[in-house]
Structure 1
Amino acid sequence: MQLVLNIQLEEPLVLPMNYNHIVQSIIYRALSVMPDYAEFLHQSGYTSGKRQYKMFQFGQLQGHYKMADRKFIFDTEVSLEIRSPEPLLINLLVDSFYRNGIAFGKTTYRDIYMEIYDYTIEENHIVVQMKSPLTVYSTDEFTNNTYYYNPQEEAFFDAVNSNFYRKYQAYFGIAPCSPIRISKVENENCRKFVTKYQGSYITAWFGKYDLSGQRKYLDFLYQTGLGAKNAQGFGMFELL
């Protein structure tokens, strides 16, 4: 399911350039209307081995803005899309935002127009463009150093597929019976994106990609996101 929030701003909304953690905290705060569920997602979520998945994603904020002192200043309205394969999560968000509004820091905005969609992927092959950047990485178990892959490496696409396998198994309890196939659209450049999230730098990539596989697998990725760190604002795509 997909939830699109259109927030009318009674006063300008000022956010740091690295605002993903702020949006994530808004989502968790809204889910606290059902404390047990919110705690489950925040503490563990759906697991596959040592990996934990929250099964929601959000895109970048959209709206007219200007930049000043390395901050975004949205002036009249801002929109945000949240997706999840879990209807309960979307419905809890709608209920919470309707009752309590959306608080960015000390300012609560209550003039919110919410749209709920249940769009599904019905194809076995799609061409997508990233709405929020795609990231995949590996961490050395001895040094704890993290390496972020890039689309010039075959390992980048292998890591996207491995992430899909783990995420699908974590949610459904069974492994997919076939892989997805992903490749960069020919002659299209991928734009590098680096941001800081709670003290750590994350490298990710915008771009256009070919995706193929079983329809239900592509739909699952449409709801949950491609690659890693979906619940931190990475991996949302739209169809071209």
Structure 2
Amino acid sequence: MRIRLKLKTVEEQLIDYNYNADLNNLIYEVVKDADEQMAEKLFGEGILIGDKPAKPYTFSRLLFDNYKATHKGLIVKGEGEWLISTPVDELAETLINGLIGRYQIKVGKNKFTVERHQMLKDPEMPEEMSCFMLAPVVTSVFRPDGREVFCHPLQSEFYDLLRSDLIFKVKQIYGEVFDPADIQFTIIDPEKFELERAANLIHYKGKNIKGYLFKFKMTGPEKVLKIAFSWGLGSFNYQGFGMIDFLR
């Protein structure tokens, strides 16, 4: 399920590009306001899903209609929105309860009016999803020398990691295992795809995380598509990476 916050700022505001940690801290505050015990678990080892702890949520970037990218940060004004997504109904309900009476959110030094918030039910999954990213998708591997290397969408390894991650999440939520060969990804308009333009480097609590924003098609079993939509693709979902939406 998803929660959408409709935001507004009358004055122009300059937002630092590296605001993911601020948004994650805000989620902690919201959950804590509704259920302190859940907040401590969620932002500790994680809440128990099946027989393993997990942090089953992701969130979008701040999405404003009126924005300008500068070397100092993102200048925004007017109306915007922010989305949080989770496959766990109890967590979604806790988030909604924690947002009651919250008419303003703070992101770093910036403050935004919350005009309204609402719960969005997950749509029915089509056989093939045409999607875009609401937050960069990240995959990484550790090489034998201990280095963490971020993969990119022109490498087959990128998609192998997306598949294995989805299979792990689906097993945790549904207790079922699917064949990786049944999950396929295709870049939309590959002739227009530019790797450097798609790349996003985010600094998160002392670590540089490299992800990618691009449009793609995805096919797979319904439960796999549901988890991709509600939990996100790839790694670092709870740090604000991997959230997707349908192209409309």
TM-score by length of 1: 0.86
Q: Name the residue aligned to 2:154.
A: 152
Kindly indicate whether the alpha-carbon contact (under 8 Å) linking 1:135 and 1:227 is maintained by their aligned counterparts in 2: yes
Would you say 1:17 and 2:17 are equivalent positions?
A: yes
Mark the runs of 5 or more structure 2 residues left unpaired by the alignment.
none
Measure the CA separation in 1 of the matches of 2:110 and 2:157: 43
Measure how far apart 1:94 and its partner are.
Answer: 1.9
User: Does 1:84 pair with 2:86?
Assistant: yes
**Share of identical aligned residues, percent?**
22
1:29 equivalent to 2:26? Answer no
User: Partner amino acid for 1:194?
Assistant: L
- 1:1-240 alignment runs, 5 A limit: 1-9=1-9, 13-32=13-32, 33-45=34-46, 53-63=54-64, 64-66=66-68, 70-101=72-103, 102-105=105-108, 109=112, 111-140=114-143, 143-172=145-174, 174-179=175-180, 180-185=183-188, 186-189=190-193, 190=195, 191-240=198-247
State how far apart, in whole Å, the 2-side matches of 1:165 and 1:72 are: 36
Query: Structure 1 residue 137: deviation in Å?
Result: 0.5
* Separation (CA, whole Å) in 2 of partners of 1:86 and 1:126: 22
SS of alignment partner, residue 225 of structure 1: coil
Query: How big is the shift at 1:71?
Result: 2.7
Structure 1 SS opposite 2:5:
strand
SS at match of 2:153: coil
Q: 1:7: how far off?
A: 1.8
- Give the whole-Å Cα distance in 2 for the aligned partners of 1:213 and 1:126: 9
Tell me by how many angstroms 1:67 deviates.
5.2
Kept in 1, the 8 Å contact 2:169–2:227? The answer is no
**Runs of at least 5 residues in structure 1 that lack an aligned partner in the other structure:** none
The secondary structure found in structure 2 opposite 1:159 is helix
Q: Give how far 1:215 is off.
A: 1.3
Following TM superposition, by how much is the alpha carbon of 1:206 offset from its aligned partner in structure 2, in angstroms? 1.2
Structure 1 residue 184 displacement after superposition: 2.3
* Alignment partners' CA distance in 1, 2:68 and 2:155: 35
Count of residues paired in the alignment: 236
Other structure's SS at 1:92 match = helix
Over the aligned positions, Cα root-mean-square deviation in angstroms equals 2.5
Cα deviations by residue, 1:167-206 (Å, 9 ceiling, x for unpaired): 222333x242333222323434151111211111111111
Cα separation, partners in 2 of 1:29 and 1:192, compared to 1, 3 Å? same
CA contact under 8 A between 2:132 and 2:244: conserved in structure 1?
Answer: yes
Contact 2:15–2:110 under 8 Å retained in 1: no
Mean alpha-carbon deviation: is it higher for 126-135 or for 104-113? Answer: 104-113
TM-score by length of 2: 0.84
Q: Return the alpha-carbon distance in structure 2 between the equivalents of residues 57 and 40 of structure 1.
A: 16
Q: Report the alpha carbon displacement of residue 105 of structure 1 after superposing the two structures with TM.
A: 4.6
